[in-house]
Structure 1
């Protein structure tokens, strides 16, 4: 018997990267002068343009002073960490490289290359596709949604495991909600050694919180039916 789940749709690579950029609060910056880890110093425009306000005492500010025309080349790193405490919390990373161009008090990245890394591997992203993509509509709400599900509704998480084959649950000691997007919910199955992720797809994409509530109720109803048949 296979895993009891609908074939899971996933976001495109560009959309996944845009979601990481939209939700990231920190940004790692590497230049010829050195490295910085900046907190709350960047923003991302609707078209995907990354803007940074370099702190006055930062390595990045020094790089601007040393670079020709005040335009340092840089590698920016954005990490996507699971809001729920699990092993290997970093779910994905996005790297953008290019030239940082002064625009008033800000530096605007002119990207030359973009790369996404997740559990499936590392892949380059077409820059036009990245600019045209939009973040997942649940990306900014995801941390609160997942922590609420894990903390307030552990019984619902346990019930959802009935959508997974018993073989896949062998040796599992803890299950946590790892990620949610418009296409589905991902559970982290932790064993004494190692872990695995299982994605439960929604029957239709959820483009707002109201739709997400309905999709979650449908998953729980399906799990309840499996529970009753197993009695």
Structure 2
């Protein structure tokens, strides 16, 4: 149960920080309106660093179903624990979105752009095309997983590793996050996408479920490929 709670709260923190920054940048009449990509990627970087620092010693702080599945696939995590981790991560992401919605409710009302409102919750391609979007998410998560495994094999202290992971997430967002908004985490997109569907977001428009396969499946494929390559190289 301790691991379940750690993964749930850790993923909640991740989404609260990350989506909170997006809301601050995208929604009208906020102090951070039009803050840009630097602010958004920094939010996700800090959003992963802090939960990893806090919960890494309890649950390893996966906070990402793609990471959990990849670690299990190469024997570094028990398959028996996978279901509880995935459930915790999706619930945490959903609840994080609910909190962002509550905090920014008045700003959702003040914003007329349905696309901006949707962007607070879930990713979308900047130019339509499932193929390129799938490749982008796959490559982004491949980088994430491969470097996480490499960091795990170093002698760096846990706190330094957490900071390095945060910098990694920041770098991925700045470099290849442009085409899709970079999910690189199925829970980060699917949990909030469900929240967007269920919550009474003013003027939210239709939720795009046709795109959901990209941020859910591509990160899993990318993480698995990275993990399998890593163990065969090292």
**TM-score w.r.t. structure 1 length?**
0.27
- Asked which structure has the greater CA Rg, the reply is 1
**TM-score w.r.t. structure 2 length?**
0.27
Structure having greater relative contact order (Cα 8 Å, sep ≥ 6): 2
* Larger strand fraction of residues: 1
